[in-house]
Chains A and B, each alone.
Chain A
């Protein structure tokens, strides 16, 4: 950054700014080449090879697409895990979005105890990315003790039973109880993955200009009209941001089954080539899913400035 001063070369203002720009991102650029781009390229390279561990490093044996076809056609679990994960993301993401928008609207009202309510609803933000959440939701099998995790799962499904008992409606009818339990088991995971989406939607709601609210009030709009004609259009750009966030979050979470499969391949079976191939297939699926979602949603977004 300073060498041009030393050399006393007169540079044009824009050229100088350009150099400063490189200066500001320089550190990141070096880091990203060393810690991101090269590893990324390497893992792609592994995926086409049979990786053999030797003292002092790794040796490669070119295999072409062998690893990919093994992952897709030979591995009994991988494609199934992948499909399950896709299905789950597909139905959960819209639910998370609708739910978090709904909660954001509620939390945007003025009422007593709002600060407390907000604090509670954002609590998952600090817990849901860690291993604690794995134990809470009974997802994580700690050291292969499956029985223990079964018990913690049991306690998370029974949560609704608790609530129903609490409200005094437990056991009114068998079917109803079973149905509510099924819904509620998912409520748990939806509520717990909605922390950041709620945060973003709330920020969006607070950005709705006062003028729009006043105009709606003068025109005599009901709360219902207001939601559909004012709130929703203003919030729509955030739907995209939230959508991307939610999809990435669910795909990169280490608790999902496909990811776990890749991990065991790496650590237990030490089959790096196959693990890398799976990771790349996985990444391709994620990208394709995101592409479809972004393409579909982009058309219905309303931008105020356009």
Chain B
């Protein structure tokens, strides 16, 4: 018995060391970000400063916010994000339900397209998509230029073709397939049509997985810079701003695009930029953590 006990204690120590060490690997960049944000840039050249700044300052943070035009950028990003995430969750849920509970001709083929959506890298279709939005409309009748218009993000999201939509359709399909059929049968007998059944019976049951998918959708749209740089030139999201932080900094802060700042000193602004761009996500994560980590078990991605 005592051998078992000592093995148990050993296991605990082992587990603690492993988890602690790896948590360090994950948290290190975040701690570094915070540490850099609140130090003066001259501290970067001071070899004794590693974690704890010698000179505290808020000016780096202020300058970064100014260079990224943070409040406007945040508003644009939030508008895009929340809008797209809402549209996407709804459209993917409807589509997923269609695939889960109805049988129709060509279902296998159509579902194959959903799988194809997961597999094809966005980069393959991004160029034709660009021209689609550049000359949007029906040939010969009318065309409009949708580049720099938020519709370039909204329209695909509305029709379940946004960022990682294939994956979301798959998640919803698996989830709805896991719900008992009796639920719907009861609703049918009570005189609900399929649409009413979906709205009144299935959606309330799926609330938790709706939230999980919604959160992931927000995260993926927030982090996207590939699609946004493709379709937006003057509409700036947090991700594209961060991507161009270097030149923005020089332009807005020093009014000179050719100014030379030591790359080591630039790190402070970069890290500050990172910090402000993930701060909203982090706050969301802290409050809704359990929906990220537990929701997915119920959301049906399993099995």
Contacts and interface: CB of A to CB of B under 8 A. Distances in A.
Nearest to B156: A35
Interface stretch (A59-67, A86-94, A151-159): A151-159
Contacts of B103: 14, 17-18, 21
A190 B225 CA distance: 22
Interface in A31-52: 31-32, 34-40, 42-43, 46
A124 B219 CA distance: 11
A147 B132 contact: no
Interface of B is mostly: helix
Interface residues of A, number: 101
Interface stretch (A71-79, A129-137, A171-179, A209-217): A129-137
Interface in A114-128: 117-127
Contacts of A192: 26
B22 A121 contact: yes
Contacts of A252: 121-123
B56 interface: no
A27 B297 contact: no
Contacts of B281: 126-127
A96 interface: no
Contacts of A37: 113
B231 interface: no
B125 interface: yes
A187 interface: yes
Q: How large is the interface on B (under 10, 10 to 19, 20 to 34, 35 or more residues)?
A: 35 or more
B293 A199 contact: yes
Given A17-B102, A24-B94, A29-B110, A283 B270 contact: no
A279 B161 contact: no
A125 B292 contact: yes
Given A43-B128, A131-B242, A142-B245, A25 B99 contact: yes
Interface stretch (B62-70, B78-86, B203-211, B260-268): B260-268
A279 B244 contact: no
B250 to A, nearest CB: 9
A36 to B, nearest CB: 6
B100 to A, nearest CB: 9
Interface string A242-257: 0000001001101000
A135 B274 contact: yes
Interface in B179-229: 193-195, 198, 219-220, 222-226
Contacts of B303: 207, 237
27 contacts: A20-B102, A20-B193, A20-B195, A21-B98, A25-B94, A29-B110, A31-B159, A34-B132, A43-B127, A43-B128, A46-B128, A57-B135, A103-B22, A119-B286, A121-B22, A127-B223, A129-B223, A131-B239, A131-B277, A136-B29, A143-B247, A191-B25, A248-B119, A252-B122, A276-B127, A282-B124, A287-B119
Q: Which 6 residue pairs across A and B have the least CB separation, nearest first?
A: A31-B159, A21-B102, A24-B98, A130-B223, A39-B128, A42-B128
